[in-house]
Amino acid sequence: MNWTRSYAGYSRSQPKEVRENPALGARLEKIKKEELTISTQEFVESLLEFFKKKGGLTENQLTAFEKIESRWSPQEKEKLQAWNKEYLEHHLETAKIIAKYYTTAGYFSNIAVPILDDPEFIPPKHSYKKMSTNKYARKVLEETTRQPKFVVNDMVQIRSTAGRNNAAARNLISYQNRLCFVLSNSLPVISACAGGKRYKVLPMGSEIALDLEERQLMNPNKKGKVS
């Protein structure tokens, strides 16, 4: 029989030889009761079904199962509990900041979305470290936590270059050199760049507020316009 499922490097084309092992049934049943992901749960159930028919697993099936089984040893459970505690106490707020950036950037969505949407979700430690320690995440955190150049109620001016080289910000061309009042300086950062801190500003002569990045703003000068 050729087993068609794949998991953790387990190939689609497997040897037909089955190693019988009556003790595997109890081990499979035990792991099936753990809090597995949906895909892992389905894989373990498929192995259990195969075991009930054949009395054992192929060598590659067994190797794949043992990888799963090792994650639920007493030692690994202790590590998981420690990580859960560490994440909730020390990383949760940082994770939300980074996740907001990645839901806009389109990367790490498999963990960024549940971080924001599911209060009980805790990302795997290795996945969180990969998401949070790269240069883009570090820049987003730096921009988020640094002191803003402008404070609420400050008068600022939209730069004459705003919208010039960014198709997504073409609407700012008509606001170039417009004087504005700062309404907020703590919007979520969505650009991993210097000057990425975001503001909500109200242009003079307008009833519509704009969300801008600090790099698009400057102190007023004689070119400032009210409309």
The pLDDT score that the predictor gives to residue 9 is 45
Distance CA 215, CA 159 (A): 8
Of the candidates 38, 39, 47, 40, the one whose C-alpha atom is nearest the C-alpha of residue 18 is 47
Threshold 0.75, pTM exceeds: no
* pLDDT of amino acid 147: 96
**Mean pLDDT score, 31-45:** 89
Question: Which amino acid type is present at position 222?
Answer: K
* Distances from the Cα of 146 to the Cα of 149, 151, 158, angstroms: 9, 13, 21
Segment 85-117, tens digit of pLDDT: 999 999 999 999 999 999 999 999 999 999 999
The DSSP line for 131-164 is HHSSHHHHHHHHHHHSPPSS-TT-EEEE-TTTTS
Give the integer Cα–Cα distance in Å for 207 and 154. 17
**Using CA atoms, how far apart are residues 108 and 97, in angstroms rounded to an integer?**
13
Q: Is the pLDDT of residue 16 over 80?
A: no
Beta bridge partners of 181: 155, 202
Q: Look at the chain and count its residues.
A: 227
Packing angle, helices 92-105 and 125-132, rounded to 10: 70
Mean pLDDT of 64-76: 88
Between 9 and 186, the more confident residue is 186
For residue 202, pLDDT beyond 70: yes
| pLDDT at 5 exceeding the cut of 80 | no
